């Protein structure tokens, strides 16, 4: 491993009691949205919630993560798979990228199969705008089942 990337993770406030197990597991295994890093070393420099709709903590969290050296901020998979999905995800991504000049990735761990099944049945992600948002967290069927 010849490069270290510092990342921050922002989760949906609905999951504020989440211990981050799936996000951290996928970060270690380079699964889901973390597959983009290949063999580079990752360091988590921040993990917090958005503070609930409409994201009152986004500005503060981004500032703190950047001060801690974050080069990339991941908006956790829960923002996409929760029901309903976060209505502010595009706003969060755009704001963080423009305000802090860093890369923002939508997603952390792979979408669990049970969530993919439900959102497919509901038609949640049929709009074209969702395709690039869910793409980083799509995985093969067995990996999705492993995250159920």
Question: Would you state the pLDDT for residue 3?
Answer: 76
Q: Write down the pLDDT at residue 71.
A: 97
What radius of gyration, in Å, describes the C-alpha atoms of the chain? Answer: 14
CB 100 within 8 A of CB 66: yes
Output the CATH code of domain 4-146: 3.40.50
What does the pLDDT read at residue 1? 45
Q: For residue 77, what pLDDT is reported?
A: 97
52: left (phi over 0), alpha (psi -120 to 50) or beta: left
**CA angle, corner 30, sides to 112 and 53, nearest 5?**
55
Residue 39: the pLDDT is 87
Token output for 25: 């597991």
Ranges in the chain, pLDDT < 70:
1-2
Beta strands (DSSP E) in 62-110 are 72-75, 103-106
| Per-residue model confidence (pLDDT) at position 2 | 55
Domain ranges of the chain: 4-146
């Amino acid at each position: 491993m010849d490069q270290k990337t510092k990342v921050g993770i922002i989760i949906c406030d609905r999951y504020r009691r989440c211990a981050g197990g799936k996000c951290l597991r996928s970060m270690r295994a380079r699964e889901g949205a973390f597959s983009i890093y290949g063999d580079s070393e990752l360091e988590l420099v921040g993990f917090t919630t958005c503070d609930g709709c409409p994201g009152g903590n986004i500005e503060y969290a981004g500032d703190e993560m950047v001060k801690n050296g974050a080069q990339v901020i991941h908006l956790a998979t829960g923002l996409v798979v929760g029901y309903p999905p976060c209505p502010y995800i595009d706003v969060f991504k755009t704001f963080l990228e423009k305000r802090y000049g860093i890369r923002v990735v939508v997603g952390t761990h792979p979408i669990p199969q049970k969530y993919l099944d439900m959102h497919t049945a509901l038609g949640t992600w049929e709009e074209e705008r969702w395709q690039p948002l869910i793409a980083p967290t799509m995985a093969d069927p067995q990996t999705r089942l492993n995250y159920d």
